[in-house]
């Protein structure tokens, strides 16, 4: 995606656009991401690029330039030509066929994308990409931070547009996308006014000089090289490349300062690491003393929460000290841990390093389903309702009906048996049998008998025509059992800005 184009995560516009991410929503929690392209012939389908799902096939040509939220009907795609083209490729593999294969390749490039025909069934909704939808469909490279957690984390950290966030490890980039949206306040060089209308008042209260707007930024660190590379590519594709700086780095060892001008200058920190306490020594305003360093570097209980990477050991080599924190602001931190042992270790390291207001929270999100519940015998045979008796009266009446019908049935059975025996005896005696009365008697007997199940269901269907189902039933709420998340103990803390002698002096001059 070109840098000049704003990311669909920040401003999706009203319609889906070419070369931009769109999300196909098949069911509430089943989403498929796709970078939409109407012209790509790099596909075996005559219809161009196609998303194949269990609810049908969706050529990109049917997804492009659609208002977000549109219900898109599935298409019949030409799988025949796909098979043929595959066969051609297979056959063209040998040396003798090189010429044919080059020819078919150039023909392929010139291929005109066929118009898609609507299928008789199947549909999906086209929704814009957001951090929330992306979290539900991103390619998982690690465990990810889910929406209930990151929404809580970002609000507790008071993340605002213009803030700088340090994030480690970046993993699959779930938190990264949410953080990028939270800090976004325009891209450098693309603001209507470069100074953002802000003014800085001089110390004497008179001189006022304009300053440049501080743009928000996310500084993501990831130890695993392929994950870092993949995340970088993904962010570029999503138009977030200029907002997020991804660095492949072991933060326990090398900290958070960058070599170029893009210093984090962080206001907010989020650590999702197997041993967050080992990174804390790099998040100070001045170099920690040796005694403190020794106490926080202990890794005697490094947990095996992340088995995909071995936990790097802290280095003892001394480097010139640089702080990645914003010296002008108090800095807020959150660490994400799956077990309480990690929390204990992190909290004690925070205490040693001067963090204050330390606290822990556990997010136990539940999703509530709110619906109308219809219960009663009148619901028999209808969809979306509970057809059991709603009251004792209904239950007793149903029992009476069942017993009443059983009594009549057994009476009729007995009569039939007696009739058969009478006939057999008459035959033995050689008597002439009287003409049979067909069903007349039994029909007469059934009159006044409670209705059968079939009759009741027919009546319920008929009654349905005059019922307002949306208003009926009790309004109830239930917690849904499955919510994508995992145990998360969140430790929050605050590091006040440093108060130097000169600050004290300034304050004295100003206020006395
Ligand atoms: C649970 S994942 C993070 C998931 C991420 N927060 C998300 O929402 O997708 C933890 C990541 O930390 C990385 N990691 C582990 N040790 C690290 C270190 N010393 N420096 C940087 N990253 C590290 C791992 O490679 C892994 O990708």
The model's pLDDT over 211-234, given as tens digits with 9 standing for 90+, comes to: 568 899 999 999 999 999 999 999
CB atoms near residue 38 (< 10 Å): 16
C-beta of 256 in contact with ligand 1 (< 6 A): no
Q: Which helix (H) or strand (E) holds 156?
A: helix 147-156
Choose the final residue of a domain: 128, 149, 175.
Answer: 128
Distance in Å, CA 143 to ligand 1 centroid: 9
The model's pLDDT over 446-472, given as tens digits with 9 standing for 90+, comes to: 667 888 888 888 888 888 888 888 888
C-beta of 175 in contact with ligand 1 (< 6 A): yes
Q: How confident is the model at residue 28, as a pLDDT?
A: 87
Distance in Å, CA 493 to ligand 1 centroid: 20
CB atoms near residue 324 (< 10 Å): 21
Residues 475 and 498 in one domain: no
ipTM surpasses cut 0.95: yes
- Structurally, the chain folds into a number of domains equal to 3
Pairing relationship of beta strands 268-271 and 331-337 according to DSSP bridges: parallel
Which residue minimizes the CA distance to atom 27 of ligand 1? 171
Whether residue 245 contacts residue 192, with contact meaning beta carbons closer than 8 Å, is answered with no
Residues 235 and 339 in one domain: yes
Instruction: Report DSSP letters for 97-149, one per residue.
Output: GHHHHHHHHHHHHHPPPPPPEEEEEEEEEEE---HHHHHHHSPPSS----HHH
Q: What is the mean pLDDT of the chain?
A: 83
The span from the CA of 214 to the CA of 195, in Å, is: 9
* Closest to 163 in 3D by CA, of 189, 194, 185: 185
Is there a domain that residue 500 lies in?
A: yes
Output b/e per residue, 358-374; b: 16+ Cβ within 10 A.
eebeebeeeeeeeeeeb
Q: Which helix (H) or strand (E) holds 26?
A: strand 21-27
Is there a domain that residue 247 lies in?
A: yes
Is there a domain that residue 422 lies in?
A: no
Residues 386 and 342 in one domain: no
Q: How confident is the model at residue 98, as a pLDDT?
A: 41
Is there a domain that residue 284 lies in?
A: yes
Residues 95 and 121 in one domain: yes
Q: Which helix (H) or strand (E) holds 425?
A: helix 392-429
Q: How confident is the model at residue 24, as a pLDDT?
A: 96
Whether residue 216 contacts residue 161, with contact meaning beta carbons closer than 8 Å, is answered with yes
* Closest to 265 in 3D by CA, of 190, 210, 183: 183
Q: Average pLDDT for residues 171-191, to the nearest whole number?
A: 90
Distance in Å, CA 477 to ligand 1 centroid: 37
C-beta of 174 in contact with ligand 1 (< 6 A): yes
C-beta of 234 in contact with ligand 1 (< 6 A): no
- CA of 278, closest atom in ligand 1: 19
Distance in Å, CA 486 to ligand 1 centroid: 15
Is there a domain that residue 113 lies in?
A: yes
C-beta of 306 in contact with ligand 1 (< 6 A): yes
* Closest to 180 in 3D by CA, of 230, 150, 216: 216
Q: Which residue has the higher pLDDT, 213 or 248?
A: 248
Domain with 408, as residue range(s), is: 369-416+449-482
Residues 159 and 55 in one domain: no
- Residue of 306, 314, 342 to mutate, ligand 1, most atoms within 8 A of C-beta: 306
Residues 88 and 151 in one domain: no
Q: Is the dihedral of CA 97, 100, 104, 105 positive or negative?
A: positive
Which residue minimizes the CA distance to atom 15 of ligand 1? 273
Strand ranges for 189-330 from DSSP E: 199-201, 208-210, 217-222, 244-248, 268-271
Residues 264, 266, 271, 277, Cα dihedral to 10°: 100
Distance in Å, CA 351 to ligand 1 centroid: 24
73 beta partners: 123
Residues 153 and 231 in one domain: yes
Chain-centroid distance, C-alpha 420: 71
Residues 247 and 392 in one domain: no
- CA of 141, closest atom in ligand 1: 27
Whether residue 343 contacts residue 356, with contact meaning beta carbons closer than 8 Å, is answered with no
**34: confidence class by pLDDT, cuts 50, 70, 90:** very high
Distance in Å, CA 273 to ligand 1 centroid: 5
C-beta of 168 in contact with ligand 1 (< 6 A): yes
The model's pLDDT over 266-315, given as tens digits with 9 standing for 90+, comes to: 999 999 999 999 999 999 998 888 888 887 776 554 444 444 444 444 44
* Closest to 61 in 3D by CA, of 82, 34, 80: 34
Residues 312 and 281 in one domain: yes
Is there a domain that residue 72 lies in?
A: yes
Q: CA angle, corner 447, sides to 441 and 451, nearest 5?
A: 130
C-beta of 144 in contact with ligand 1 (< 6 A): yes
Distance in Å, CA 140 to ligand 1 centroid: 12
Distance in Å, CA 363 to ligand 1 centroid: 20
C-beta of 270 in contact with ligand 1 (< 6 A): no
The span from the CA of 368 to the CA of 365, in Å, is: 10
Write the CB contacts of 57 (distance below 8 Å, at least 6 apart in sequence): 50, 51, 74, 75, 76, 77, 119
Residues 454 and 309 in one domain: no
- CA of 273, closest atom in ligand 1: 12
Strand ranges for 37-107 from DSSP E: 50-53, 56-59, 71-76
**134: confidence class by pLDDT, cuts 50, 70, 90:** very high
Residues 162 and 228 in one domain: yes
CATH number for the domain spanning 231: value is 3.40.50.150
Which residue minimizes the CA distance to atom 3 of ligand 1? 171
Residues 158 and 181 in one domain: yes
Is there a domain that residue 203 lies in?
A: no
- CA of 172, closest atom in ligand 1: 9
Q: Residue 313: left (phi > 0), alpha (psi -120 to 50), or beta? A: beta
C-beta of 143 in contact with ligand 1 (< 6 A): yes
Q: How confident is the model at residue 306, as a pLDDT?
A: 45
- Residue of 273, 312, 363 to mutate, ligand 1, most atoms within 8 A of C-beta: 273
Is there a domain that residue 433 lies in?
A: no
The span from the CA of 146 to the CA of 133, in Å, is: 10
Q: How confident is the model at residue 495, as a pLDDT?
A: 97
The model's pLDDT over 356-373, given as tens digits with 9 standing for 90+, comes to: 999 999 988 888 888 889
* Closest to 393 in 3D by CA, of 373, 374, 376, 372: 376
- Residue of 147, 148, 149, 170 to mutate, ligand 1, most atoms within 8 A of C-beta: 170
**330: confidence class by pLDDT, cuts 50, 70, 90:** very high
């Amino acid at each position: 995606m070109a840098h000049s184009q704003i990311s669909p995560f920040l401003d999706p516009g009203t319609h889906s656009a070419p070369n931009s991410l769109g999300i196909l929503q098949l069911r509430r929690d089943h989403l498929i991401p796709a970078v939409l392209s109407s012209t790509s012939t790099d596909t075996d389908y005559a219809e161009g690029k196609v998303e194949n799902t269990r609810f049908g096939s969706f050529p990109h040509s049917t997804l492009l330039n659609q208002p977000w939220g549109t219900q898109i009907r599935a298409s019949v795609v030409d799988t025949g030509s796909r098979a043929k083209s595959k066969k051609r490729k297979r056959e063209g593999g040998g040396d003798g066929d090189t010429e044919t294969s080059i020819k078919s390749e150039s023909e392929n490039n010139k291929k005109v994308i066929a118009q898609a025909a609507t299928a008789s069934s199947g549909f999906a909704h086209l929704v814009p990409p957001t951090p929330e939808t992306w979290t539900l469909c991103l390619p998982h490279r690690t465990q990810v931070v889910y929406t209930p957690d990151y929404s809580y984390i970002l609000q507790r950290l008071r993340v605002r547009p213009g803030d700088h966030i340090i994030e480690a490890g970046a993993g699959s980039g779930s938190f990264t996308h949410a953080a990028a949206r939270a800090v976004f306040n325009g891209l450098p060089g693309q603001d209507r006014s470069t100074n953002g209308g802000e003014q800085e008042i001089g110390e004497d209260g008179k001189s006022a000089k304009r300053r440049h707007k501080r743009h928000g930024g996310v500084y993501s660190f990831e130890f695993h090289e392929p994950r870092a590379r993949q995340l970088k590519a993904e962010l570029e594709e999503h138009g977030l490349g200029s907002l997020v700086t991804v660095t492949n780095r072991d933060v326990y060892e090398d900290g958070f300062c960058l070599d170029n001008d893009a210093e984090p200058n962080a206001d907010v920190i989020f650590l999702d690491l197997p041993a967050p306490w080992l990174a804390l020594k790099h998040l100070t305003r001045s170099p920690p003393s040796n005694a403190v360093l020794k106490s926080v570097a202990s890794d005697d209980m490094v947990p095996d929460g992340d088995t995909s990477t071995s936990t790097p050991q802290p280095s003892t080599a001394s480097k010139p000290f640089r702080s990645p924190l914003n010296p002008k602001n108090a800095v807020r931190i959150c660490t994400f841990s799956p077990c309480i042992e990690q929390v204990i270790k992190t909290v004690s390291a925070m205490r040693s390093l001067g963090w204050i207001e330390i606290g822990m929270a556990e997010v136990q999100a539940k999703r509530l389903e709110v619906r109308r519940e219809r219960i009663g015998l009148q619901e028999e045979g209808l969809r979306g309702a509970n057809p059991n008796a709603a009251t004792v009266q209904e239950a007793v009446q149903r029992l009476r009906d069942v017993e009443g019908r059983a009594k009549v049935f057994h009476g009729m059975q007995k009569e039939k048996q007696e009739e058969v025996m009478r006939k057999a005896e008459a035959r033995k005696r050689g008597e002439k049998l009287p003409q049979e009365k067909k069903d007349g008697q039994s029909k007469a007997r059934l009159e006044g008998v409670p209705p059968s199940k079939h009759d009741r269901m027919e009546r319920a269907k008929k009654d349905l025509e005059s019922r307002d189902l949306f208003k009926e039933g009790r309004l109830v709420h239930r917690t849904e059992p499955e919510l994508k998340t995992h145990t998360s103990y969140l430790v929050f803390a605050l590091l006040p800005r440093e108060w130097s002698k000169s600050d004290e002096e300034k304050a004295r001059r100003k206020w006395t």
